[in-house]
Structure formats: C-alpha cells, structure tokens
Amino acid sequence: MPSSSAPAPFRRARRRVRTWLRRIWRGIAYLWRRSLMVRSAAITVATTGLAVAVIGTAVMVSISNNVYAQRRDQIEAESARATIVAQNIFDAATAAEDNNQTELESLQSEAQNAILSNTTSPGGTSIAIERTPGARTPQILQNVASTGFPDSVITDELRKRVAADTGELSLQPVRLDGPGGRGPGLAVGSTLQIPSAGQYELYIVYDLSDAQQTLDFVSQTLSIGGVALIVLIALVTSLVVRLVVVPIRGAAETSRKIAAGRLDERIPVRGEDDIATLARSFNDMADAVSRQITQLAELSRVQQRFVSDVSHELRTPLTTIRLAGDLLFDARHAFEPSVARSAELLHAQVDRFELLLADLLEISRYDAQAVELETEPVVPAALAADIVEEFRPLAERAEIELRLATPGGHTTMLLDARRIRRVLRNLVGNAIEHGDGRPVDVVVDSDSRSVAIAVRDRGVGMPAEDTARVFDRFWRADPSRKRTIGGTGLGLAISLGDAQLHGGRIDVWSRPGEGSAFVLTLPRRSSEAPPTSAIPLPALDESYEGPTGTEEPA
C-alpha cells in the first residue's frame, strides 16, 4: 500500500514506530559515545559471541560427523549380518527345482523374522524383500514388507544399484515421517539368491531419530553454554572495566572541580596499584598547579596593589605639577618664545599624564574585580546625541562631517551613564582620529532584545590581524601616525570592559582603505545576553549604509 493512500491511523502508527525506533537508536548512540563501559562490554560480547559461534559450529559439525560415521558403521555391520542370516536360511533349504511355493514362502517369512530379531538399532528398523524386476525363474515369491515400511523412500537410483548385484551394500540417506515431523534415516539395500525363485532385493530402513535427538541435545547444550559464557564474560568485562572507569570518572570530576576554582579537591588514593599511582601523580600535579596559581594570584594582587598605590601616590605630586604648570601656561605670553613653547608642552603632557593615570586606576579596578555599576535611567539615543554634539567642534576642525541617525534606542534603560559615555567617547574619538576627512556615522537602533550604537568611519581601516588585537592594552595599529586627540592606548580595552560589565559586547569590522565600524550592543535586560545585534556589521563587499530596524517597546 503506498504511503500516500494509507489510512490516517496507519500513517500515525507508522510515524510513532519510526519515532520510537529513532529514540532508541539515539539512546544507544549516546551510550556508545559517552560510556566506555558500554563500548567495552559491547565489543567484548560481540567478539566473544563470534568466537563462540565459530567454535560451537566447528564442534557441532565434528560431533555430527562422528555420530553419523559411528551409526553408519553400525548400520553397515548390522545390514551385512542380516543379509548373511537371510541368505543362510535360503541356502539351507533343498536346492531342487521341485521346491514348492509354500516351502519358499515359509523360508521367506523365517528370513524376515530372523532379520528383525537380529537388529539392535535403537531407532527402529523396517525391512522389505522384493523381487528384482526382469528376473525369469520357475517360481515367484510375493514381495513382503514389515508393517509401516516406507516404500516411497526407496528411490529408482537405489534399486538400480542394488539390482546390479555388486556384492556390496548400497546406502542412501532418507527422510522419514514420524510423530514429531520428518526425521533422518538410512536405507540399506542388498541382494538375496533364493533357490528356484532367483534374485531378490533386501531393503532395511533404519530410523536415525535417536541420533538426531542426541545431536539436538548437544546443540542445545552448546547454545545454552555459549549464551551463559557470553553473559558471564559481559559481566566480568563490566566489572573489570568498572574498576578502571570509576577512578577515571573520579579524576574527571576532580579536574572539573579544580577547573571551577576548587583548588583543594583531590582524588582519593586507595591501594598501591597502577590506578593508585595515577591518583597520586594527579594529586601531586594538582598540588603543584595549585601552588603556581596561588603564587600567580598573589603576584597579580601585588602588581594590582602596586599600580593602584603608585597611581594614588602620583596624584599628590601630579597635583602640584598641575598647579605649577597652569601658572606657567597662563603666564606663557610674558615669556620668551622658547620658554612659552615649553610651558605649552608641559601643560599638554600633564593633561595626558592625568588621563593615563585615570585609565591605569580604572584598569587596576577591573583587574581586581572591584568595579560596580552605578545605574540610572538613560535614553541611549539621547546619550549618543550628547556625545555627537560634544565631538562636533573637533570633527569640524578635522573637516569631518559627523552624522547621527537614531531610528531606535529611544527607550529608557538602566545603564551606568558615565561608563557608556566613556565608551562612546572612545569610539567617536577614534573614528574622527582615523576618518581621513570623510564622514563619520553614529547610528542608534534597537530590537526587542537589545539596543545597539554603531560608529562607522571611512578612513584608513585595518587589516584582519590588526582587528583581532584592537582591544589589547597599549596596542596601536600605526604607532607612527600623528594623533590629534591624544590617548593612552587603554581606551578600547576599558570600553570593552565597560560593555561586558553591562552584559553587552563590542563588535568590530575593518578593511584597509574602507574604514572601520564598531558596534556597541547592550541587552535590554542584563541577565539576557543578546545572540545578535540590532545593527549588523557591514558586509565585506558592501559599505555600511545604516540600519533599517524599528523601535520595539521595552
């Protein structure tokens, strides 16, 4: 029946069966991938089962051939004796041609009874004495057969071989009907020379069901023994593998705990075997790693404290230098030109030094994980507009058109405004710095899960290897490039930390000669990191024209 024309209940049942089979297959595949014990037991059972099957088959074939050969030899000997007994009975009679019919029939019955009484086959026998076709003799005896003789199993081929009177027994395997169905048997044919009646054929059919029962019992015993052996091997394999797998699982669990920060976790050591040696080696390694981590952590704390202390200590002399520098800067017009220039350079470098000191303090707070958000209601679009207006004079001096687009981001969010402003100042300032006189776009957009602020310039751009390092501390793509804004080399690193502190991220795209794009993505809810940004990064073969998204309600 085609699937398209099958009844709906049949199709549903077939789908359920397929689903059930798929689930079973997936469960087996999962166990195969995840459990060393299951794999080891399955492989051992499969190989053992194959070996048991091959050995059992070989043993069964050998036993069958041996039993059959013994029964065949026994049957040949019995058939030869039966033929001799019957022939002796007929030879003992008078050989004269005037033997009457009654006497020959009596001898025939006597021979039949003698054969039956001398047969010791446990499976039972049936005999028949039949006249050889085509013989011409003065007297003819009627064919005789024991009760239930299976005349149909005597084939023409067997009769031809017997009629040829080669002096040897002719054997032929046959199938006999019985109460339990068809069973094996063996038909044996020989010739008898009866005085005045000529050549007759003696057929003895032996029932081999007893031998077959013996072979069936042996086969059943081998099968049960093989299955029991496979089950026992599976259990032993599982036990042995468990002795190895359980310590490995313990080591894996301990490794996960150590990786999670629980450096005092260790593997229990039991005994003196290889597993115990492995556990001790692992514990020694964990102790060494723990000591190294503790030393590195202490060194990091010392370095952080040193940076923090130095930064704080530098504030006092810096304040003094600042005051003195401001006095000199304010009075620079009364100085000689060289002294006035020195006052201007001193003033600029003091400003840069103050900025560097502030960034170092902020970085030290991040390293010490001592940074906390001070959130307040903020409208991202309004915040971006403030930053654009703040940098517009600088952009005009650099002859750069600073453009703002806010199709989204008008929803109030809880943000640390100071940090977001710092991020945007870094992004917009860098865009103006590297814009090469071309327009810079600031775009704010949002979707149901995030708000994104993109800053896109069309300046010099960066190659891929520089893009990957753009957030590294104190790294600059072109150190020889003239800087009009200043900067400490820590701005983007601090900006990335500010974004991640809000649960967001900063994505970057850049291409030499086509400019760069930085996208700050902030989640509407801090507990939900957005998988995608409301403003996608520009494609590598297209210039960024701004988003087309619409504002979503909070």
pLDDT at 384: 92
For residue 537, how many other CB atoms are within 10 A of its CB? Answer: 16
Enumerate residues 6+ apart whose C-beta is below 8 A from 358.
none
For 208-264, the DSSP string reads: -HHHHHHHHHHHHHHHHHHHHHHHHHHHHHHHHHHHHHHHHHHHHHHHHHHHTT-TT
- On whether residue 32 sits in a domain, the answer given is no
399 and 293 part of one domain: no
pLDDT at 383: 92
The residue among 537 and 409 whose pLDDT is bigger is 409
319 and 436 part of one domain: no
Given pLDDT bands bounded at 50, 70 and 90, which one contains residue 118? low
284 and 171 part of one domain: no
- On whether residue 42 sits in a domain, the answer given is no
330 and 461 part of one domain: no
- On whether residue 386 sits in a domain, the answer given is yes
Find out whether 461 and 512 touch, Cβ atoms under 8 Å: yes
Structure tokens at 485: 């804004």
Residue 176 amino acid letter: L
Q: 247-257: per-residue pLDDT in tens?
A: 888 888 888 88
- As a whole number, mean pLDDT of residues 421-437 equals 87
464 and 508 part of one domain: yes
Percentage of the chain with pLDDT > 70?
Answer: 85
Q: Does 2 have pLDDT greater than 50?
A: no
Find out whether 388 and 442 touch, Cβ atoms under 8 Å: yes
Structure tokens at 495: 């900006």
Which of 32-46, 345-359, 430-444 is least confident? 345-359
519 and 381 part of one domain: yes
Which of 193-197, 202-206, 367-371, 495-499 is least confident? 367-371
139 and 207 part of one domain: yes
Is 100 exposed, middle or buried (CB count within 10 Å of its CB: 0-12, 13-18, 19+)? exposed
- On whether residue 116 sits in a domain, the answer given is yes
- On whether residue 290 sits in a domain, the answer given is yes
pLDDT at 99: 54
Q: Does 178 have pLDDT greater than 60?
A: yes
435 and 344 part of one domain: no
> Phi then psi for 359, rounded to 5 degrees?
-65, -40
- On whether residue 221 sits in a domain, the answer given is no
Q: 382-413: per-residue pLDDT in tens?
A: 999 999 998 998 888 888 899 999 888 888 88
Domain termination site, one of 211, 228, 256: 211
- As a whole number, mean pLDDT of residues 132-149 equals 75
322 and 429 part of one domain: no
Which of 97-101, 184-188, 384-388, 449-453 is least confident? 97-101
Q: How do strand 413-415 and strand 198-207 relate by DSSP bridges?
A: unpaired
| CATH (domain of 505) | 3.30.565.10
Give the residue numbers spanning the domain of 128.
92-211
Percentage of the chain with pLDDT > 90?
Answer: 6
Enumerate residues 6+ apart whose C-beta is below 8 A from 452.
409, 444, 445, 446, 519, 520, 521, 522, 533, 534, 535, 547
pLDDT at 372: 76
- To which residue do tokens 């971006």 refer? 384
Q: How far is Cα 512 from Cα 506, in angstroms, rounded to an integer?
A: 20
362 and 386 part of one domain: no
The number of domains in the chain is: 3
Q: How far is Cα 370 from Cα 238, in angstroms, rounded to an integer?
A: 52
Q: 325-338: per-residue pLDDT in tens?
A: 788 878 888 888 88
pLDDT mean across residues, the chain: 79
Q: Does 4 have pLDDT greater than 60?
A: no
pLDDT at 308: 67
Domain termination site, one of 367, 400, 426: 367
Q: Does 367 have pLDDT greater than 50?
A: yes
The residue among 452 and 310 whose pLDDT is bigger is 452
- As a whole number, mean pLDDT of residues 425-442 equals 88
- On whether residue 441 sits in a domain, the answer given is yes
- On whether residue 73 sits in a domain, the answer given is no
Q: Does 554 have pLDDT greater than 60?
A: no
Q: 9-33: per-residue pLDDT in tens?
A: 777 888 888 888 888 888 888 877 7
DSSP state of 536: P
pLDDT at 381: 92
Domain termination site, one of 346, 367, 388: 367
Q: Phi-psi category of 330—alpha, beta or left, where left has phi over 0 and alpha has psi -120 to 50? A: alpha
For 369-392, the DSSP string reads: T------EEE-HHHHHHHHHHHHH
Q: Does 553 have pLDDT greater than 60?
A: no
- As a whole number, mean pLDDT of residues 303-326 equals 75
Find out whether 379 and 338 touch, Cβ atoms under 8 Å: no
Q: For residue 478, which of 462, 494, 455 has the smallest C-alpha distance?
A: 462
Which of 43-52, 420-429, 522-531 is least confident? 522-531
Torsion over CA: 268, 269, 275, 279 (sign): positive
pLDDT at 1: 45
Q: How far is Cα 369 from Cα 366, in angstroms, rounded to an integer?
A: 5
Q: How far is Cα 200 from Cα 329, in angstroms, rounded to an integer?
A: 148
| Separation in Å, CA 542 to CA 297, 313, 403, 539, 546 | 46, 51, 19, 5, 12
Give the 3-state secondary structure of residue 436: coil
Which of 139-143, 300-304, 398-402, 478-482 is least confident? 478-482
- As a whole number, mean pLDDT of residues 447-474 equals 84
Give the 3-state secondary structure of residue 524: coil
| pTM for this entry | 0.48
| CATH (domain of 153) | 3.30.450
145 and 169 part of one domain: yes
Residue 117 amino acid letter: S
198 and 292 part of one domain: no
